[in-house]
């Protein structure tokens, strides 16, 4: 970061892209104070801007219904004001109104006191957002003048609509400040830049866009804060999936004279891989686990999850377990061990054949005369789930499940078996993208041997729960399957629309039926990282009991 004296006649604004923890108001305030100190000492900042709901973390959900939680949050305001009497600090928090309702507020502190406040106008209530459950919308614009520069304040969804930014400009703002907790999904960056460019054109004002960074349960916040000048050019981009500070010098007319911060933003598989590693790291650490454990089958899904976990936490924090049965091939065992050796991961082997024999012997009086079927297949998966949960309990390690979105969509997973665990890192990653991410990881982080053996990438997928089993016995080609899932789940397309696009009607109807039938399984699945616009979980809320028949 280039360090210079503030430009003559200009105001220096620092963008403080920090990671917060939901519910930890004191810890979040500590993080703010650290950023304020750096901005003062290193950047000579006069204004510092933090993300939306900085003190509570985002989304605080029903913590907002607790008076003691709100009191903890409010107690930090004066502490921050006292720590920065020589700066203007803009940050987010929930604020109680006299009647008891809440607003999603941006406070402006300076000279040891509150200078101004702004209540968010546009409360999102779609997808992963349900702010209308908690907040009352604001109606008034907020413009605060700092050293002659009129700053208009907006919060996140406000910038996606026309009225709040225009109201601030009409009230005299020459620079728009927007505090954001905008979660990541693929292609979100392009949408943000387009929307901010629209607001710049609408108002003639540059925009300072400060976004949250970090993982919070299913959500990942990617940071990528930036400023956009009056010509629509993106300036001082901050890192993706990492904390960072940036700065810009602005005049009273809204001209950006200088700026610092020039991070490169990853795209494609690199972006998704970074989101997944951050999601794993923050979920494990924020929940106090001593590393992770996972079952390693020798297949592509567990291979990708193992590599992600090592990159997120370090090899010493990951335990891999092979659990062979009578159907497990030597190839699978060899490939799993090879991957562990290449990554430096401890690998244990717990054969399940004795346990499987014991279970089938116990069940024999009831199952006598009945042919073996999916019951015996699921029994193997459930034995493995019991063993892995025992290791999780004994050693305090989070159990990572390895199912992908394609499997979760159609129920190609065993309830209380391979679905058992604490976190599902690739739950929103379709199978075709699993392969793409694995190939990207092998190609872009050079080591003597790629972490995922080539044979894992090239062999035909199989659950190995019966003799000569192949995924293709139960499912269409994954490229076709993922196309149907994307159309039906993420875009709400009808069967008629999918068939008109060239998909086979019987195949579409079978897959759609499976998606709807397996809602009960997904309700019992662990949380996982959201990377699409419509993930199973917070985004997509379908009833389990339903008579709906798609057309």
Element (DSSP H or E) covering residue 144: strand 143-146
Last residue of a domain, one of 226, 258, 290: 258
Cβ(311)–Cβ(278) below 8 Å: no
Inside any domain, residue 318: yes
> What are residue 262's DSSP bridge partners?
none
pLDDT at 102 over 90: yes
433-458 confidence digits (pLDDT tens): 999 999 999 998 767 789 999 999 99
**Residue 356: strand, helix, or coil:** helix
pLDDT at 6 over 60: yes
The dihedral region occupied by 215, where left means phi > 0, alpha psi between -120 and 50, and beta the remainder, is: beta
Inside any domain, residue 199: yes
Exactly one of 95, 120, 157, 407 is catalytic; name it: 120
Tokens of 301: 């899904």
Looking at the chain, the number of H-run helices and the number of E-run strands are 17, 19
Work out the average pLDDT over 210-232: 96
Same domain? 285 vs 409: yes
Which CATH number goes with the domain that contains 105? 3.60.110.10
Tokens of 135: 């907040």
Same domain? 128 vs 26: yes
7, burial (CB in 10 Å: exposed 0-12, middle 13-18, buried 19+): middle
Stretch among 102-106, 183-187, 468-472 having the lowest mean pLDDT = 468-472
Cβ(291)–Cβ(397) below 8 Å: yes
pLDDT-based confidence at residue 117 (cuts at 50, 70, 90): very high
Inside any domain, residue 282: yes
Work out the average pLDDT over 25-36: 96
Quote the CA–CA distance of 214 and 212 in Å, as a whole number: 7
Exactly one of 25, 156, 340, 347 is catalytic; name it: 156
516-544 confidence digits (pLDDT tens): 999 999 999 999 999 999 999 888 888 88
- Provide the pLDDT for residue 263: 86
pLDDT-based confidence at residue 372 (cuts at 50, 70, 90): very high
Task: Could you list the beta-strand ranges (E) of 373-478.
Answer: 398-399
Quote the CA–CA distance of 44 and 16 in Å, as a whole number: 14
166, burial (CB in 10 Å: exposed 0-12, middle 13-18, buried 19+): middle
- Provide the pLDDT for residue 127: 87
Inside any domain, residue 265: no
Neighbours of 520 (CB within 10 A): 11
Q: Which of 447, 456, 443 is nearest to 342 (CA)?
A: 447
Same domain? 281 vs 210: no
Evaluate the CA torsion angle 320, 326, 327, 328 in order and state its sign: positive
Work out the average pLDDT over 16-32: 96
Instruction: Please indicate whether residue 375 or residue 471 has the higher confidence score (pLDDT).
Output: 375
183-212 confidence digits (pLDDT tens): 999 999 999 999 999 999 999 999 999 999
Last residue of a domain, one of 258, 285, 316: 258
pLDDT-based confidence at residue 1 (cuts at 50, 70, 90): very low
**CB-facing half-sphere around the CA of 262: CA atoms within 13 A:** 6
Same domain? 284 vs 365: yes
263-288 confidence digits (pLDDT tens): 899 999 999 999 999 999 999 999 99
DSSP-assigned letters across all residues of 234-245: EESPPPBSS-EE
Same domain? 240 vs 284: no
Work out the average pLDDT over 75-101: 94
**Residue 437: strand, helix, or coil:** helix
Work out the average pLDDT over 14-34: 96
Average pLDDT, the chain: 93
CA angle 502, 503, 504 (to 5 degrees): 120
Tokens of 23: 């519910």
Work out the average pLDDT over 336-340: 94
Quote the CA–CA distance of 115 and 485 in Å, as a whole number: 50
Quote the CA–CA distance of 538 and 526 in Å, as a whole number: 12
Inside any domain, residue 147: yes
Quote the CA–CA distance of 312 and 347 in Å, as a whole number: 18
Quote the CA–CA distance of 454 and 448 in Å, as a whole number: 14
Count: domains in the chain:
2
Same domain? 281 vs 192: no
Same domain? 125 vs 171: yes
pLDDT at 2 over 70: no
150-182 confidence digits (pLDDT tens): 999 999 999 999 999 999 999 999 999 999 999
Inside any domain, residue 155: yes
Same domain? 303 vs 324: yes
Quote the CA–CA distance of 335 and 337 in Å, as a whole number: 5
Which CATH number goes with the domain that contains 398? 3.40.50.620
CB burial string 212-242: b at 16+ within 10 A, e below: bbbbbbbbbbbbbbbbbbbeeebbbbbbbbb
Tokens of 67: 């008076």
Backbone angles phi, psi at 155, to 5 degrees: -130, 115
Quote the CA–CA distance of 227 and 245 in Å, as a whole number: 12
- Provide the pLDDT for residue 3: 57
Inside any domain, residue 511: no
Work out the average pLDDT over 412-420: 94
Residue range(s) defining the domain that contains residue 125: 11-258
Catalytic, 431? Answer: no
43-52 confidence digits (pLDDT tens): 999 999 999 9
Same domain? 170 vs 250: yes
Last residue of a domain, one of 211, 232, 258: 258
- Provide the pLDDT for residue 328: 85
Using alpha carbons only, how large is the chain's radius of gyration in Å? 26
Same domain? 232 vs 285: no
Share of residues in the chain with pLDDT > 90 (%): 87
Catalytic, 205? Answer: no
Inside any domain, residue 291: yes
Same domain? 317 vs 182: no
pLDDT at 84 over 60: yes
Exactly one of 25, 52, 347, 377 is catalytic; name it: 52
Same domain? 252 vs 280: no
Catalytic, 156? Answer: yes
């Amino acid at each position: 970061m280039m360090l210079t004296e503030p430009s003559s006649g200009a105001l220096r604004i620092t963008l403080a892209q920090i990671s917060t923890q939901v519910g930890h108001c004191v810890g979040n305030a500590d993080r703010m104070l650290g950023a304020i100190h750096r901005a003062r000492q290193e950047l000579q900042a006069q204004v510092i801007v933090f993300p939306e709901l900085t003190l509570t973390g985002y989304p605080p959900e029903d913590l907002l219904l607790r008076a003691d939680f709100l009191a903890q949050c409010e107690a930090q305001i004066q502490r921050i004001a006292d720590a920065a009497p020589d700066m203007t600090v803009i940050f987010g928090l929930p604020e109680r109104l006299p009647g008891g309702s809440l607003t999603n507020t941006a406070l402006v502190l300076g000279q040891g006191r509150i200078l101004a406040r702004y209540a968010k106008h546009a409360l999102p209530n779609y997808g992963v957002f349900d702010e209308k459950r908690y907040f009352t919308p604001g109606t008034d614009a907020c413009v605060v003048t700092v050293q002659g520069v009129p700053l208009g304040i907006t919060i996140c969804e406000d910038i996606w609509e026309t009225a709040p930014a225009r109201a601030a400009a009409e009230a005299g703002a020459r620079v728009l400040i927007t505090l954001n907790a905008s979660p990541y999904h693929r292609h979100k960056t392009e949408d943000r830049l387009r929307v901010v460019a629209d607001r710049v054109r609408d108002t003639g004002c540059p925009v300072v866009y400060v976004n949250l960074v970090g993982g919070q349960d299913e959500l990942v916040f990617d940071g990528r804060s930036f400023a956009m000048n009056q010509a629509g050019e993106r300036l001082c981009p901050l890192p993706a999936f990492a904390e960072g500070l940036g700065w810009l010098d602005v005049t009273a007319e809204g001209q950006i004279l200088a700026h610092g911060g020039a991070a490169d933003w990853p795209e494609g598989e690199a972006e998704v891989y970074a989101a997944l590693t951050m999601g794993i790291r923050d979920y494990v650490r924020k929940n106090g686990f001593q590393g992770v454990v996972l079952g390693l089958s020798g297949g592509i899904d567990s291979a990708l999850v193992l590599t992600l976990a090592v990159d997120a936490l370090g090899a010493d924090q990951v335990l891999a377990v092979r659990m062979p049965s009578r159907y497990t091939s030597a190839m699978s065992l060899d490939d799993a061990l090879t991957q562990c050796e290449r990554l430096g991961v401890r690998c244990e082997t717990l054969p399940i054949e004795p346990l499987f024999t014991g279970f089938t012997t116990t069940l024999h009086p009831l199952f006598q005369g009945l042919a073996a079927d999916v019951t015996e297949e699921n029994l193997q998966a459930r034995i493995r789930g019991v063993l892995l949960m025992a290791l999780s309990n004994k050693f305090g390690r989070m159990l990572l499940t390895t199912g992908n979105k394609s499997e979760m969509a159609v129920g190609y997973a065993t309830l209380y078996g391979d679905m058992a665990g604490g976190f599902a890192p690739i739950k929103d990653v379709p199978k075709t993208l699993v392969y793409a991410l694995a190939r990207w990881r092998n190609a872009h982080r050079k080591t003597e041997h790629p972490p995922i053996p080539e044979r894992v990438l090239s062999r035909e997928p199989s659950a190995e729960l019966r003799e000569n089993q192949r995924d293709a016995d139960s499912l269409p080609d994954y490229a076709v399957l993922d196309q149907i899932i994307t159309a039906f789940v993420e875009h709400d397309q009808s069967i008629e629309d999918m068939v008109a696009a060239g998909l086979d009607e019987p195949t579409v109807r079978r897959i759609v039926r499976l998606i709807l039938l397996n809602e009960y399984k997904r309700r019992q699945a662990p949380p996982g990282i959201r990377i699409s616009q419509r993930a199973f979980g917070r985004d997509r809320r379908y009833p389990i009991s339903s008579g709906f028949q798609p057309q």
